[in-house]
Structure 1
Amino acid sequence: MPQTSRASVSELLRHHLRFGLRLLAGPATDTPIRHVAGADTLADLDRAPTESLIVVLGATSAPIPDYEIDVAIRQATTRDAAGLVFAGLRSLPITAVRLADRAHLPVLGSDAGRGGGELLLDIDRFVRGGASDTLARATSAIRAALRAADLDGPDAVRSLLDAAAEALGCRIVLDETGPVGQADPGAVIVGRHPVARLVPGLDDDATQVALPAIAAVVSRMRQRELNHRFAPALTRAGLIVQMVLCDRAQLPQLVEQAFQLDFQVEQTHVVAWLRIEDAAVQDGTSLARARQLLEEAELSALQILHTRQGTWHVARLGGDLVIVGTGQSGTPLHRQVRSEVGRLIGMLSERGDILVTGGLGTPQAGPDGLRHSAAEARVAADSAGAAERRGTLVEADATGLRRVLADLYSSPLSRSLLTEILAPLDALGTARAQVGVTTLAAYFDAQGSPTRAAEVLHLHPNAVAYRLRWITEALGVDLAEPDTRFALQMACRMRLLNR
């Protein structure tokens, strides 16, 4: 019975992974195949309908003599065959090649490992087309993926894709180079975030049915791989957060935990502090969106840094990302952390939906050094944010005020005392407190001259004098007292950097 399919020899060859066919002689025509017929003997060729693709089955059981191949080509030509397939044959004698070329008859061979009957049925189902072939290929590919889902090792995903591709009859490529949409049917999702996508070599009904299921299996494998790879690192990341935030009296206990987790806390550390913000929102963003952006930034950092030399830790602290590079003293650790974190900031900024403001601490040894480098990095990030230097990595200065402030900032007691000094201004509201701190800082920088402070603030000197009166009344202080003036100046400096 004639088929309605538009299948052709060239189409069969494009599905090389499925059929294992190769062109041995003649052209790869686009002429539609009307029938598929099997032939055990040369006599069977005469019974094949015209415009058939004839599969010679005997080649898989015993070698066919050269003269019989010549006869088969002549008979197929007289039957106006769409093509001739020798199951298990990988080459033709030269006489057969010349006969096929003159007759414009496509002659194909197949891999020796596949039986002729199985090949005949598969080609027939493909030529008939329709839902049955689509469903059979898709189901076979999904089953192949599920069978390979428990594989481990660096080549596990590749082995799974190869098994699924063989069933579908086309290659499947894992593309990790570009942005991936959540709605992409081949999206590989890790922790709710698309990290890669599967790209099939053919976009037909079977691949469209199977691709989402295969991508889901690959997603589970990737999640399992990340959990296994980063589980110790995530535990150490939580410990790092505690070490950065704790009071110094708690540090010895945390250091003991660090050794138990094989975290070489006695080595040298360089800390980078990244502020992650939503580029699309100007007046604040939702908690869910902020958490999503931070998780995506963390995942990107983990995926990038685990392939780099050295020891890396990535931790989330509030809405910020803390990256710690750890190594031996005397190594170019600072340069390496600056380079890798700078590359990460550039990659995140290229997305267009994330604003990153980064600060980098100096190399410091031991647990106290880790805390100090983190404090430096945080102050540097605050300074970059105040200067609106987003998309950059600002380094802490090795000497000077920021380093002193960073040391103060690393102490919960110092932070608490300096915050208490300005608490009366904070009670007046955010806007009034900001005016008060800015005016005091300009006044102190001007060495107590309201006139010079007015020039910096672009105000009249009388306006500065008025501000100073209500500020001192609110604080209940005397600016003529040296210790008070010094404490206020330190508090204002820290507040402005932290802002």
Structure 2
Amino acid sequence: MAKLSELLSSPGLETANVVTGSLPAREVSDVAMVDDPARLHKVPEGAVVILTPSLLAQAQAYHLDIWGRTVAERGAALLLLHGYHPEKVPRSATRLASRSEMALACVPAETDAARLVRAIGRVIDAGSEDALARATAAARALAEAVEDDLTTAELCALAAQAAGCPVQARRPQDGEVGAPVLIDGVEVDHVAVPDAAGPGGDLARIVARLTAETAARVTIARRRAEELPIRSRSQLLSELLTAGPQHVIELVPRARSLGLGIDDWHAVVQLDVDTEELSEAQRFGFGETLGTVVMQAVGRSGAGHGEGGGAGWHLAYADGTPLLVRTWGRNPGEGAMRKVRAAVETVHAELARRMPERRVRFGIGSVHETVEGLRASWAEARAALLSDDPAHGARTPEIVVFDDLGLHRMLVEWYTTHTARTAVRDLLAPLERLGPDKCAMMVRTLRVYLDQQGSLSGTATALNLHRNAVSYRLKRIVSLLDVDLDDPDQRLALHLACRAWKLS
């Protein structure tokens, strides 16, 4: 496609007299010569519409208004009156064209019609060829830069030089062409092409997308190189949190050798992100990208910056979901939780900006000492997240601090004992043999039923199920567990087990 201004200044159209003042920033994509008003309803968008001398010879002033409105509604870029004197064009027609962002021009009757059409066609074809050549040049320049460690802004400058159009590293404004820099579905940057006129209409879209994709590949390569020494610490920290007691003893010396302040003071922040629509492989990639964004955001918060040794913020993963570990070389005192929460608020604001469609929640554990305290803080962070249960109809804040939960803390402290964990596991073992998904459904049904004090109607409402479906599930649960829900002791044990089950 070509710019309207380029078209009217090209050879063969130098005699055209524009009567609408300044030219609109329009693109021209086709040409149509019309000698029958019925054909005006079929002109393509972006076309130059040429009204023939024979048609104009029988036209009254109001006809130009009607025909102009018709082609303007079709999206024509230029209405060209062949053999019509500029002074005869009614002001109503020029005003209508200006309001519709369509140019209106006249060419003398002696201008050869075939030559006129060929001249317009050459400009349109040349515009497409030029756009393709410039896009190819940008693609070649960006492909050669993949191995270089360039920022998005530097890649934009490279693409702009090759394509001959402005390319900038920022969010596109209204009316601008742009593309996000995506890494595993997370927007980490943006590319904007401000001038999308003329052949740059298609060119802008191609260059923006090519630049954004190249920026994503370069960013991934840079992060992998930067994170190699960090990854080993992150993986070890993840193992320390999730390993069994005997394995933890074996991991502690390795953690010390890598500079992790494992004997220091820790607070864990667990993230909870809604990723149900993603496959397992997609969740893993999404989790890694999310972890990188989280660490960048917490770094910008300034919390823990400049601390030596193993102190500061660290990244770990549990089931593919990132979690943050804040470590201090000494007891941080009473103000620690306030500072941790402030850092988490910075992370939450950044994720809300980048992923407005996803709800991200944070559970913050208390400050504890040594590796045992690290694991205890993680259990508390998960417990804080458990306080948000849709079955209860309440929506808790996005940031939940374990210390603020009151009586809910007692459940975690009870469950951290070996006796309690064994009792819960043994009691619910028949349900766990059904498989993870069915077990989760059964445990949740039983827990809500007990929360609703044995009300089938209340449970059905909370779970959005029919009363008969709840009754059927409960009969099967009672049969599998071989329990009596009318026995107060058994009911209490089941209630505690269901509430503690999600901590396991």
TM range (shorter): 0.5 to 0.7
Deviations 1:81-102 (CA, angstroms, capped at 9, x unpaired): xxxxxxxxxxxxxxxxxxxxxx
Deviation track 1:277-327 (CA, whole Å, cap 9, x = no partner) reads 25xx7xx87656755764564353244234343233333322643222223
- Are the structure 2 counterparts of residues 356 and 399 from structure 1 closer, same or farther at C-alpha, using a change threshold of 3 Å? closer
Which amino acid letter does the alignment assign opposite residue 474 of structure 1?
D
Report if the CA contact (8 A) 1:355-1:390 is conserved.
no
One-letter amino acid of the counterpart of residue 221, structure 1: V
Report the equivalent of 2:399.
393
1:244 maps onto 2:241 in alignment: yes
Where does residue 207 of structure 2 map in the other structure?
210
Residues 172 and 191 in structure 2, CA contact (< 8 A), matched pair in contact too: no
The 1:199–1:486 alpha-carbon spacing in structure 2 relative to 1, beyond 3 Å, is closer
Q: 1:135–1:206: 8 Å Cα contact kept in structure 2?
A: yes
Within 5 A, what are the aligned runs for 1:13-92?
A: none
* Mapped contact 1:7–1:127 kept (Cα < 8 A): no
Aligned residue pairs: how many?
351
What is the distance in 1 between the residues matched to 2:237 and 2:193? 43
Residue type of the partner of 1:253?
E
Query: Is 1:416 paired with 2:417?
Result: no
Q: Does 1:169 align with 2:172?
A: no
CA distance in 2: counterparts of 1:442 and 1:139, whole angstroms: 66
Matched, 1:375 2:395: no
Q: Is 2:357 the partner of 1:353?
A: yes
| Cross-structure match for 1:78 | none
Which amino acid in the other structure matches residue 325 of structure 1? R
Report if aligned partners of 1:144, 1:163 keep a CA contact under 8 Å in 2.
yes
| Preserved CA contact (<8 Å) 1:267 1:329 | yes
1:397 partner SS: helix
CA distance in 1, matches of 2:211, 2:290: 26
Superposed displacement of residue 173, structure 1: 1.4
Aligned to 1:325: 326
Q: Distance in 2 between matches of 1:487 and 1:131?
A: 75
> Paired residue for 1:365?
369
Unmatched runs of 5 consecutive residues or more in structure 1 = 11-28, 31-125, 179-183, 444-452, 459-466
Given that 1:359 and 1:384 are in contact with CA atoms closer than 8 Å, whether structure 2 keeps it comes out as: no
Distance in 1 between residues matched to 2:405 and 2:194, nearest whole Å: 58
CA 1:380/1:304 → structure 2, altered by over 3 Å: closer, same or farther? same
In 2, distance between residues paired with 1:218 and 1:423?
50
Please report how far the alpha carbon of residue 259 of structure 1 lies from its aligned counterpart in structure 2 after TM superposition.
2.6
Tell me how far apart the structure 2 counterparts of residues 242 and 265 of structure 1 sit (CA, whole Å).
13
| Change beyond 3 A, Cα 1:378–1:209 | closer
Change over 3 Å in CA distance of 1:413–1:352 after alignment to 2: farther
What is the alpha-carbon distance in structure 2 between the residues aligned to residue 478 and residue 138 of structure 1?
75
Q: In structure 1, what is the equivalent of residue 482 of structure 2?
A: 474
Work out which of the two has the higher radius of gyration on C-alpha atoms and give 1 or 2: 1
* C-alpha contact 1:272 1:361 (8 A) present in aligned 2: yes
How big is the shift at 1:253? 2.0
Could you tell me which residue of structure 2 aligns to residue 494 of structure 1? 500
Write the distance in 1 (CA, Å) between the matches of 2:171 and 2:340: 24
2: distance between equivalents of 1:134 and 1:472?
70
Of the structure 1 ranges 380-389 and 266-275, higher mean CA displacement relative to structure 2 is found in 380-389
CA distance in 1, matches of 2:124, 2:446: 82
Q: Map 1:279-294 onto structure 2 (within 5 A).
A: 287=280, 294=287
Choose from 236, 240, 250 the match for 1:253: 250
CA root-mean-square deviation: 4.8
Structure 2, unaligned stretches of length 5 or more?
10-21, 24-122, 305-311, 460-474
AA matched with 1:379:
A
| Aligned match for 1:195, one of 168, 188, 191 | 188
Encode CA deviations 1:262-284: one digit per residue, 9 max, x unaligned.
32223322111222225xx7xx8
In the alignment, does 2:265 pair up with 1:274? no
Mapped partners of 1:368, 1:473: distance in 2: 33
Alignment-derived partner of residue 315 in structure 2: 314
Q: 1:425 to 1:249 in 2, by over 3 A?
A: closer
3-state DSSP class of the match of 1:186?
strand
Q: Which secondary structure does the structure 2 equivalent of 1:384 belong to?
A: coil
Q: Is the 8 A contact 1:424 1:475 kept in 2?
A: no
AA matched with 1:365: E
Counterparts of 1:130 and 1:426, CA distance in 2: 66
CA contact (8 A) 1:342 1:392 kept: no
CA drift at 1:334: 2.4
Q: Secondary structure at the match of 1:270?
A: strand
